[in-house]
Amino acid sequence: MAKEKLTYERKLVWDVFSDAEKGAAFDFASGYRRFISEVKTEKEAVVWVRKEAEKKGFSELSESRKSKKVYLANRSSALALAITGKRPIRDGVRIIISHIDAPRLDLKPQPLIDEEGLSFLKTHYYGGIKKYQWVTKPLSLHGVVVLKSGVKKEIVIGEKENEPVLTVTDLLPHLAKDQMEKKMSEAVDGESLNLLIASLPVPKKKGKEGESAKNRVKEAVLRLLYQTYGIKEEDLISAELAAVPAGPARELGLDRSLILGYGQDDRICAYASFQAFLEAGDKPEYTSVCLMVDKEEIGSEGISSAQSGFLSLFLCQLAGITETELARSLVKSYAISADVNAGLDPSYREVTEAQNAPRLGYGTVVTKYTGHGGKFGSSEAGAEYVAYLRRLFEKHRVIWQTGELGKIDKGGGGTVAKYLARQNIETIDIGPALLSMHSPYEVSHKGDLYCTYRAFLAFYKG
Ligand code: MN
Ligand code: MN
């Protein structure tokens, strides 16, 4: 009795992994790095996942064709995939939901301005950012412009080595006396997040040699856009264009054990859940659902978000059941809200509570509740569900740790967990811890990424 270990300690993944597992973790991270280097918006994630799913034999959900491996996109910004299980839907399903949007600078509906011989695109930032982090970086432009005719123009500029990039300028230190004395939250104004995009004017008109440069650069930009894409200024009104950090994600650290890259919150979970979903096999016990939603970073509002009726519609259509029958199924279902947590940063210990803060390298993070001040606004997982996951993770040798989002009353945040819980589905937050979350270059840990994948795989396998 006395020999039984009574204390609990988190474990460092490198102390537990075999050499083969360490190799597998590094291999898994390479595929992930390619994914986040290529996919920088929710729409691009939908296209990428759908293409990969089709390669694996998935087809679009339709009334006429019965298939066991299906997907359905919600518009072009969210996606659900399912593999029909051995048991009927009324026995419950297994759902992993992640979000595929990330903080960025969205273009305003009328973005193009011309000032002092330079042309800029005005932006409205999307999601929770520290604005000062987004200046003086090479940025690329991603998105779509939909013409009045309905024709969709897809745009990606600034990712290839030979393509130009955009940037938001900042004041030089020599003249920043007033700016430096401002609070960090006010040092860079939202209305100053303008993307520098051009400086070449159209030629002066004959006989108007005295003409100023005013609007001639804008005119030149419009001509360029028209020649390249067939886009006029008015077309930018029906567009979703965003500036994001340009270039690929990189291996980080002399030992290459970490990843530095944009949009890891939460495409790291989208990737890990999708790979686990595929790997869990074609005949799961329970129907497996892999759901990727948009708009989490702005409060999960809107039709492509976790609050839309898309999941119920998808499941009803998949199983050919009514809303009432679905409600009976959901009460027996389990869900993981797959999202990242904030890792303890040794340079900023004061915002975390040492015993409960997740560390990089100690496995995927099980976050029983999020929210702020008194668990407000969080969806807390019940003790029974957490116990079930402890059993499951032990069975599948998953390395995991507990997590909280910061010290009490130091701030906080939420995930989509509460929107699943609202549908009466047992839900818990699981995902890796990141450093520099919501910055242009977030940091993840290869061991944690692999543990997250293993946790999701265990969840689908049961
Ligand atoms: Mn997130
Ligand atoms: Mn986030």
Could you report the per-residue pLDDT of 358-368, keeping only the tens digit for each? 999 999 999 99
User: How far away, in angstroms, is 325 Cα from ligand 2 center?
Assistant: 33
- Confidence (pLDDT) at 409: 86
Does the structural domain 104-245 have CATH classification 3.10.20.30?
A: no
* Residue entry with tokens 């159209």: 202
pLDDT of residue 353: 93
pLDDT tier for residue 2 given thresholds of 50, 70 and 90: low
Closest ligand to C-alpha of residue 416 is 1
Mean pLDDT for the stretch of residues 240-263: 98
| CA–CA distance, 29 with 453 (Å, rounded to integer) | 11
Cα of 167 from ligand 2 centre, angstroms:
23
Measured in angstroms, how far is the CA atom of residue 262 from the centroid of ligand 1? 13
Domain ranges across the chain: 13-102+262-461, 104-245
* Inter-CA distances, 327 with 113, 303, 312, 324, 337, Å: 51, 21, 9, 5, 19
What span, in angstroms and rounded, lies between the C-alpha atoms of 415 and 372? 12
- Please state, in angstroms and rounded to a whole number, the distance separating the CA atoms of residues 7 and 440: 39
> How much distance in Å is there from the Cα of 217 to the middle of ligand 2?
37
Cβ neighbours of residue 15 under 8 Å, at least 6 residues apart? none
What is the 437 CA–ligand 2 centroid distance (Å)?
Answer: 7
State yes or no: pLDDT of 220 exceeds 90: yes
Q: What residue type is assigned to position 317 of the chain?
A: Q
pLDDT at 373 (0 to 100): 85
CA of 101 to the centre of ligand 2 (A): 9
**pLDDT confidence band for 15 (50 / 70 / 90):** very high
pLDDT at 371 over 90: no
Ligand 2 ion: nearby residues, β-carbon < 5 Å: 265
pLDDT of 212: 75
Helix axes 264-279, 446-461, angle to 10 degrees: 40
Q: Report the separation in Å between the CA atom of 263 and the middle of ligand 2, taken as the mean of its atom positions.
A: 9
**What is the pLDDT at residue 213?**
75
Cβ-contact 372, 408 below 8 angstroms: no
The continuous run of DSSP H or E covering 458 comes out as helix 446-461
Nearest listed ligand to the Cα of residue 104: 2
What is residue 47's predicted lDDT score, i.e. its pLDDT? 98
d(CA 269, CA 417): 14
Query: How much is the mean pLDDT over the chain?
Result: 95
Residue 28's pLDDT band (cuts 50, 70, 90) = very high
* pLDDT (average), residues 1-15: 89
Q: What phi and psi, each to the nearest 5 degrees, are found at residue 81?
A: -125, 150
CB 443 within 8 A of CB 257: no
Is pLDDT of 1 > 80? no
Task: Reply yes or no on whether the pLDDT at 199 is more than 70.
Answer: yes
Q: What three-state secondary structure class fits 31?
A: helix
Q: Which CATH architecture has domain 13-102+262-461?
A: 3-Layer(aba) Sandwich (3.40)
CA of 31 to the centre of ligand 1 (A): 21
Single-letter amino acid code for the residue at 323: E
Which protein residues have a CB closer than 5 Å to ligand 1 (ion)?
Answer: 265-266, 339
Distance in Å, CA 246 to ligand 2 centroid: 19
pLDDT in tens, 169-189: 999 999 999 999 999 999 999
Ligand 2 centroid, distance to 293 Cα (angstroms): 13
Nearest to 261 by CA among 242, 246, 241: 246
Confidence (pLDDT) at 206: 78
Distance CA 138, CA 411 (A): 30
Dist. CA 437–CA 134, nearest whole Å: 13
| pLDDT tens per residue, range 306-365 | 999 999 999 999 999 999 999 999 999 999 999 999 999 999 999 999 999 999 999 999
Q: pLDDT of 62-109, one tens digit each?
A: 876 778 999 999 999 999 999 999 999 999 999 999 999 999 999 999
Specify burial of residue 10 (Cβ count, 10 A radius: 0-12, 13-18, 19+).
middle
pLDDT in tens, 389-430: 999 999 999 999 999 988 898 888 889 999 999 999 999 999
Give the closest ligand to the alpha carbon of residue 268: 1
62 against 39, higher pLDDT:
39
